[in-house]
Amino acid sequence: MKKHTFYLLLLLPLLAGFQTNAQTTQKWFRQEFGFTHSNVYDNGQSLAKYSGSGLQLNLGGETERSKIYTKLDNTLMATLLNANIANDKYATRATQIHGMMSYAYLRKLWKAQDSFLKLSFGGSVFVNANVRIYSALSNNTFSWDGNVGLNVIGKAQHDFSFKNKSFSMSYQLGLPVVAYNLRPNYLGFIPISAVVEGENGKNLNWQSLGRFVGGINNKYLYLNQQINLDKINANGNRLRLSYTWNYANNGFASHRYQNLTGSLSIGILTNFSK
């Protein structure tokens, strides 16, 4: 019962937003391109730690009203990883493909438009999937995980002027409230439960199925942070420099998976408000 009450309190800012009246609306279409760097540790595939860089593409949209802010994100990252271990023929390199989609709904907590620090609070629904293909001596092995769930989000924004130019800087933090996680137990392409007999095999088979994960615990944490710097043009368009920091820690399967990703991107937000 206490958990249900906790989740309900987190959702109240979202529910309150649906009671707002008609408001002036600003809309943007967002296109961002940049570079990403990942550090990966998956002790089910190799004792080696992997790191490498790649490319990132983000397409989405943002809507802002006097009391409500919404954001749609579609992100695709491709990274080439190298094992941080010398002369290991069993752990050489890997390819990582990471896709994320989310829709955030935030309620503004400030009253005056000229407030020094503008705070927002709300949540987002998200879907993400991460696939890694590990190159080995004789064949390739792969590992993957997926999540569908709800995040609680806090955002702080500061608008300022510099040399007669308008800018806006924001920081956003997202933490999981509840998620449905898929993290199979695989040894290469073979489910571990297929080669382990008896009760141990049944237990591993259960772990290979999806499971609901509530909040933050020592086996599950998906943390998202983002810093944006926008230059606001007279026509309403924005030029954006963005840094995103994601951390994943998943220990629900037979082995623990950790991934730390930092991304730097630049893009444009095209205003199409009526």
Domain-embedded: residue 11? no
For residue 15, give the H/E element and its range.
helix 2-17
Residue 217 forms beta bridges with which residues? Answer: 220
Distance CA 161, CA 231 (A): 10
Distances in whole angstroms, Cα of residue 22 to Cα of each of 51, 61, 185, 236: 49, 20, 50, 21
**Domain for residue 182, yes or no?**
yes
pTM score over 0.95:
no
Please provide residue 205's backbone torsions phi and psi, each rounded to the nearest 5 degrees: -65, -40
Give the burial class of 222: count Cβ atoms within 10 A of its Cβ; 0-12 exposed, 13-18 middle, 19 or more buried: buried
Answer yes or no: is 68 within a domain.
yes
List, for residues 166-199, the tens digit of each pLDDT value. 999 999 999 989 988 887 655 544 555 555 555 5
Residue 58 is assigned to a structural domain of this protein: yes
In a domain, 15, yes or no: no
Within 13 Å and on the Cβ side, how many CA atoms surround 146?
A: 10
For 155-185, the DSSP string reads: EEEEEEEETTEEEEEEEEEEEEEEEEEE---
For residue 34, give the nearest of 241, 248, 259 by alpha carbon.
241
Is residue 178 a part of any domain in this protein? Answer: yes
35 CB contacts (<8 Å, ≥6 apart)? 53, 54, 55, 56, 263, 264, 265
Residue type, 256: R
Task: Count how many domains the chain has.
Answer: 1
Residue 8 domain-assigned (yes or no): no
Residue 204 is predicted with a pLDDT of 55
**Tens-place pLDDT, residues 59-112:** 999 999 888 999 999 999 999 988 877 655 555 788 899 999 999 999 998 766
Give the confidence band of 218 by pLDDT, cuts at 50, 70, 90: confident
CATH number of residue 236's parent domain: 2.40.128.100
Digit-coded pLDDT (tens) for 230-255: 999 988 899 999 999 999 888 776 56
**Structural domain of 232:** 25-271
